[in-house]
């Protein structure tokens, strides 16, 4: 199994903007090897908020296939040249191989 984690730090009161972006049905759930997705949220320092998108895949290859999928690429291309939303302060992504 393989896990992708995206961590968003956002301004206080704006975490639902990130949650709503990833919640519900979308093309991700239709991809081969997709297992499930969990969205976590909490308040952190100085009133900022944190949202974690946790996505489980059958394999790293399945995740890489999603990263190269035309629907995924189109979603990113639609934002080229647009400024980062003001409510997003920081984004990190990490991936992990599940050992047990």
Strand-by-strand arrangement of the 34-43 sheet: 34-43, 49-57, 2-10, 88-97
CATH code for position 8: 3.30.70.100
Tens digit of each residue's pLDDT (9 = 90 or more) over 18-63: 999 888 777 888 899 999 999 999 877 678 999 999 999 999 999 9
Q: Give the whole-angstrom CA distance, residue 90 versus residue 100.
A: 30
Q: Which domain holds residue 33?
A: 2-97
Return the H-helix or E-strand segment holding 64: helix 60-68
pLDDT of amino acid 45: 66
Within 8 A by CB and 6+ apart from 60, the residues are: 2, 95, 97
């Amino acid at each position: 199994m393989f896990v992708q984690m995206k961590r968003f730090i956002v301004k206080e009161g704006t975490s639902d903007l990130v949650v709503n972006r990833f919640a519900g049905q979308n093309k991700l759930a239709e991809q081969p090897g997709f297992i499930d997705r969990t969205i976590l949220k909490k308040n952190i320092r100085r009133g900022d908020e944190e949202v974690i998108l946790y996505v489980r895949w059958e394999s790293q290859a399945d995740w890489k296939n999603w990263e190269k999928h035309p629907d995924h690429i189109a979603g990113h291309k639609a934002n080229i040249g647009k400024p980062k939303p003001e409510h997003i302060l920081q984004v990190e992504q990490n991936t992990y191989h599940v050992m047990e």
